[in-house]
């Protein structure tokens, strides 16, 4: 009885063998690595002309602080020359800075507010 050569295994068309040269490319899916957005702190600076009551009002209105927290931050600004009013994403921090500066201009006060990377 003559021996028959074994038949090659049947490979479904969706599976490709290496070096077949059929031009198919297998791409590996990589997990997207996203980082949380960079945070910025809004800092209010002391001056000798802006009334303390105005600073407290701004902290309450634009940073949603209660009277006690706003007063503590105002005193820190007064004694240390600056204080962080809050930490936000870049767009929110920039908006808060603009709101504070606009309110100070409307009221005729030289209050300064800046944002810094946290």
Beta strands in 29-107 (DSSP E): 39-45, 82-89
Distance between CA atoms of residues 1 and 98, nearest Å: 95
Q: What is d(CA 62, CA 91) in angstroms, rounded to the nearest whole number?
A: 15
Threshold 0.75, pTM exceeds = no
Question: pLDDT tens for residues 14-34?
Answer: 555 555 556 677 778 888 888
Which residue, among 37, 36, 42, 38, has the nearest Cα to 116 in the 3D structure?
42
Domain 49-117 sits in CATH 3.10.20.30: no
Q: What is the pLDDT of residues 29-57, one digit of tens each?
A: 888 888 899 999 999 999 999 999 999 99
Q: Give φ, ψ of 70 to 5 degrees.
A: -65, -40
- Domain borders along the chain are 49-117
């Amino acid at each position: 009885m003559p021996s028959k050569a074994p038949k090659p295994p049947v490979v479904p068309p969706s599976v490709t063998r290496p070096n077949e040269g059929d031009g198919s490319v297998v791409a590996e899916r990589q997990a997207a690595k996203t980082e949380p957005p960079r945070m910025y702190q809004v800092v209010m600076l002391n001056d000798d002309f802006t009334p303390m009551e105005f600073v407290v009002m701004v902290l309450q209105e634009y940073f949603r602080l209660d009277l006690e927290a706003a007063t503590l931050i105002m005193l820190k600004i007064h004694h240390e020359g600056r204080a962080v009013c809050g930490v936000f994403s870049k767009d929110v921090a920039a908006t808060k800075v603009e709101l504070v500066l606009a309110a100070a201009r409307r009221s005729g006060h030289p209050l300064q507010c800046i944002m810094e990377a946290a």
